[in-house]
Structure 1
Amino acid sequence: MAKTNMYLSEFEMTDPEFKEFFEQFACSEVTGEPGKGLEERTRYMAILATLIGCQGAALYKELLPDALSAGITPVEVKEIGYQATAYLGVGRTYPFLKATNEVFEEKKIPLPLSGQSTTNPENRLIRGSQTQVEIFGQRMKDLYKSGPEESRHINCWLAANCFGDYYTRNGLDYRQREMITFCFLLAQGGCEPQLKGHIDGNVRVGNDKQFLINVISQCMPYIGYPRTLNALNCINEVCTN
């Protein structure tokens, strides 16, 4: 029997057939597929990141209490939302940051949470550049110094902001951060070059091909088949080269 998700209950009277077959598929068939599952905390972490990537704000807010009940900590939830801003922009993460605060307030989780930053304005660029090398290898060394002069500042921002401000924070490790970045990119679509780069990053930090296939398998009901198949193609291209 399919596990019931509370967010589907509102369709019991209005869309009973849809509720029945979607619930059976998403909550039983997908989660029960042999060898394609994820540990529950990891599954919810991937789903939250995927919902941010595909702009599923209403469903994100519905599922966040379930994610917390599954063991995801408030700090981990916040870190997912913060890091998403580097890959989607604050215009698209703003509703999720607000929804997170609203759920936390409902659950009496005190805000603000304890700070997780490990860098400061003086060292964020160097620490970010070091993090790029740790994840992607020596080819990233001093990348922020390269490129045409008129656009070199963006490489500096990538090192200092994306990696220096976000990836160096406590709360999530590199494997978790690369997994959620993979989810942000596959869910929003149109980012295949960046997705391939982060598939490589995932593999380098220990998230192997089968793990990534399991991630997209568990997230498929939330993003549909086209973006799932695009992500699978990218995995196959990167992991066979």
Structure 2
Amino acid sequence: MHETTKAASAAQQESRLARGRRMLSAIDGRAGENVIQSLADIAPDFAQYLLEFGFGDIYARPGLDLRSREIATIAALTAIGHAQPQLKVHLAAGLNVGLTREEIVETIMQMALYAGFPAALNGLFAAREVFARES
């Protein structure tokens, strides 16, 4: 059996929730678990959906590595412009999966072309805060 097929078969046998927890831990570490726990008293089902769909289905797909997925996520959250808490979690996740500070800054600066300077500035300010905390 081909390695990709073996990996896909093993992933299918693992539940979506278990796979989501594993991926969340690999990507976000403790910060991701804090997000899940923060939903326990208001929307535990939403936390489960986030784990199963977001991390168990999407982040676990084989088409992109975690570094690429975090670049895309940082770019999207920067472009949205009003998702600072989520952006900060994913900035830390980017560092956690091996992105350099320079790669993160360049990704955010690239968004000035498509989302405008205010969105890029807000992203850079969020990055400064996360970088200081992660030092």
- TM score, norm. by length of structure 2: 0.81
Residue 107 of structure 1: aligned partner: none
What amino acid is the match of 1:185? L
1:152 to 35, 44, 54: 44
Q: 1:132 matched to which residue of 2?
A: 24
> Letter of the aligned partner of 2:114 in structure 1?
Y
Alpha-carbon RMSD across the aligned residues, in angstroms, is 2.5
Give the CA deviation at 1:151: 1.0
Task: Determine what percentage of the aligned residue pairs are the same residue.
Answer: 33
Range with greater deviation from structure 2 (141-150 or 211-220)? 141-150
For residues 57-104 of structure 1, give each alpha carbon's deviation from its aligned partner in whole angstroms, at most 9, with x where no partner exists: xxxxxxxxxxxxxxxxxxxxxxxxxxxxxxxxxxxxxxxxxxxxxxxx
**For residues 161 and 121 of structure 1, do their structure 2 counterparts lie closer, same or farther at Cα, with a shift above 3 Å needed?**
farther
Deviation of 1:121 (Å): 8.6
**Residue 128 (structure 2) pairs with residue 197 (structure 1):** no
Alpha-carbon distance in 2 for matches of 1:144, 1:120: 23
1:122 to 1:209, Cα distance in 2 relative to 1, 3 A: closer
Determine the structure 2 residue equivalent to 1:227. Answer: 119
What is the distance in 2 between the residues matched to 1:235 and 1:138? 18
Shift of 1:136: 1.5
Provide runs of 4+ in structure 1 moved above 6 Å. none
Gaps of 5+ in 2: 1-7
Structure richer in helix, relative to its length:
2
Q: Quote the offset at 1:217 in angstroms.
A: 2.2
Asked whether the equivalents of residues 125 and 164 of structure 1 are also in contact (C-alpha less than 8 Å), the reply is: yes
Q: What residue number does 1:90 align with? A: none
Q: Which of residues 198, 217, 221 is equivalent to 2:109?
A: 217
**Cα separation, 2, equivalents of 1:197 and 1:143:** 9
What SS does the corresponding residue of 1:240 show, helix, strand or coil? helix
Shift of 1:148: 3.5
Q: In the alignment, is residue 236 of structure 1 matched against residue 135 of structure 2?
A: no
Distance 1:174 1:127 in 2: 14
SS in 1 for 2:64: coil
Contact 2:16 2:57 (8 Å CA) reproduced:
yes
- Mapped contact 2:17–2:48 kept (Cα < 8 A): yes
Conservation of the 8 A alpha-carbon contact between 2:87 and 2:126? yes
Structure 2 letter corresponding to 1:201: A
Q: Which runs of 5+ in 1 are unaligned?
A: 1-115
Partner-residue secondary structure (3-state), 1:169: coil
* 1:1-241 mapped onto 2 (5 Å cutoff): 119-120=11-12, 123-138=15-30, 140=32, 147-241=39-133
